[in-house]
Amino acid sequence: MRIDGVVTSDKQRVAEEMGSYFANITDGLGANDVNQATSSTDFGEHRSVKVITEMFDPSHIGFYKLGLLGMDEVVAMLKDVNPRKATG
């Protein structure tokens, strides 16, 4: 994993970096923004989207097979989340 421009394989450092990233990925969205989101809401200016865009490696096209999800699918998945298995 590349952290601050340096490739590291230190498992502890990678775990901490990923934990921090996923714990803060929705910073700035706020409950009101998410609750008011519609299928036309554009989060293109959100920090997490910008980082993904900046770090995207075109050589990985085809490696990941991601499809678009509709709002109903996302809501259904979120309702299915078991909060007792969340880490905090």
The whole-angstrom separation of Cα 88 and Cα 82 is: 12
With a CB cutoff of 8 Å and minimum separation 6, the contacts of 26 are 34, 48
Identify the domain containing residue 46 by its residue range: 2-85
Tokens of 42: 């554009």
The whole-angstrom separation of Cα 51 and Cα 3 is: 13
pTM tops 0.85, yes or no: no
Q: What is the number of domains present in the chain?
A: 1
Per-residue pLDDT tens listing for the chain (88 residues): 888 888 888 899 988 888 887 777 666 655 455 566 666 666 677 777 777 777 777 776 666 666 778 888 888 888 888 877 766 5
The whole-angstrom separation of Cα 77 and Cα 35 is: 15
